[in-house]
Amino acid sequence: MSRLKNNKSLMQALSWIGMIIIAFIIFGIFLLMQGANPLEAYKNMFESTLTNQIGISKLILKSVPFILLAVATSISTRAGLVNVGVEGQLMIGMLFTITAANFLFTSLPTVLGLILLAIVGMLGGALYGGVAGLFRVKANMNETITTVVMNYISYFIVSLAVYGYLRDPEGFNWPMSTQISDSLTLPKLFGTVNIGIIIALLVVALVWYFINKTKTGFKMKVVCGNPNAAKNAGINVNKVRFFAMVATGAIAGLAGMIEICGVEGRLRTTTCQDYGYLGFLAAWMAWNNPVLSVATAVIISFLSVSGNVLEFKNNLPASSTQILMSIVLLAIMWRGKGRKES
């Protein structure tokens, strides 16, 4: 029995990889049409990203936000909600983090400061997710729609802050915040890689445990499966949904804190733009399975990091990476869940 299961998941993994390869072949034809040598181009992409420490570090660093945002998205999904709002929740998480880091905790010792910043970042994301949650449970507004609109609003809130109170007084009036103090940067594991990846993997494990092993996780499943049955069973559906929105926001906010304290050090209007949407896609590519979404997040991270090399080595415009990424994602989607589900 278990051998059969193993075989099945091996077959699935293989067919998954097969689809990705087909996507690369399709894009390869596109490259040929542009006069580039696809094999050469792919060799460059893989070599630059996977064969040296710098490339691997970038790959890991970039995976962290996508992992966290995917896991965050999947919590909402497990409660039967489609939350596209991790983009905005990430933004607000970053805004809260940088505000606290530059105005409140500037002189705190590293460990205490970072723990407080993580809490503040999560608070920011949770707050923004919670507002969408309130819209859902109190005003019966569709969360997909409200979160999409709120993503735009978050962008302007960040702009307002970055052009306003956050602006670096020594930055020649350029719209960017002051750099956070060195004591508030995340400790490094090796090279440029910080402990963010460990935090992300811990969160994945926690969320997996939470969804599959706890009472609230079970309630979420019931609410997702059949809200009316859940109501009849005495589950407070609204409470569960609100909780899911807040939890999603909190994790997205944590991703924001890790980006600010681990990678960016400053907030700009374009910091982490579109990460939320890519994280959302990473979650849905992995059918909202937190463990699988680590794989999809790494794939998206790989395409994003190696896409740079693809572009400048072959003199291709930025849109080409976008096209490649879309084709890969479409291929994974075309593959679907396969036989397992039906």
Residues 123-142 touching other proteins, rule: CB under 8 A, are 135, 139-142
Within 8 A by CB and 6+ apart from 283, the residues are: 69, 70, 71, 73, 74, 77, 293, 296
Q: Which of the residues 241 through 270 are near other proteins (CB under 8 A)?
A: 263-264, 266, 268, 270
**Does the footprint of other proteins cover residue 54 (CB under 8 A)?**
yes
Q: Torsions phi, psi of 194, nearest 5?
A: -105, 180
CA atoms within 13 A on the CB side of 310: 25
The correct pick among 285, 292, 297, 300 for binding other proteins (CB under 8 A) is 285
Distance, in Å, from the CA atom of 321 to the CA atom of 306, rounded to the nearest integer, reads 9
**Does the footprint of other proteins cover residue 201 (CB under 8 A)?**
no
**Does the footprint of other proteins cover residue 63 (CB under 8 A)?**
no
As measured in angstroms, the least distance from the Cβ of 1 to other proteins is 27
Q: Which two tokens stand for residue 13?
A: 């993994």
Contacts with other proteins by CB under 8 A: the residue count is: 86
**Does the footprint of other proteins cover residue 11 (CB under 8 A)?**
no
Q: Which two tokens stand for residue 6?
A: 């193993």
Distance, in Å, from the CA atom of 30 to the CA atom of 316, rounded to the nearest integer, reads 12
Distance, in Å, from the CA atom of 181 to the CA atom of 183, rounded to the nearest integer, reads 5
Distance, in Å, from the CA atom of 201 to the CA atom of 277, rounded to the nearest integer, reads 20
**Does the footprint of other proteins cover residue 104 (CB under 8 A)?**
no
As measured in angstroms, the least distance from the Cβ of 144 to other proteins is 4
CA distances from 87 to 6, 125, 166 (A): 36, 10, 20
Q: Which of the residues 34 through 53 are near other proteins (CB under 8 A)?
A: 39, 42-43, 46-48, 50-53
Q: Please tell me what DSSP assigns to residue 340.
A: G
- 55 vs 124 by CB, closer to other proteins: 55
The correct pick among 95, 284, 301, 302 for binding other proteins (CB under 8 A) is 284
- 108 vs 285 by CB, closer to other proteins: 285
As measured in angstroms, the least distance from the Cβ of 229 to other proteins is 15
Q: Which of the residues 144 through 183 are near other proteins (CB under 8 A)?
A: 144-146, 148-150, 152-153, 156-157, 159-160, 163-164, 172-176, 179
- 7 vs 226 by CB, closer to other proteins: 226
Q: Which of the residues 287 through 316 are near other proteins (CB under 8 A)?
A: 305, 308-309, 311-313, 315
- Closest among 26, 64, 45 to 307, alpha carbons compared: 45
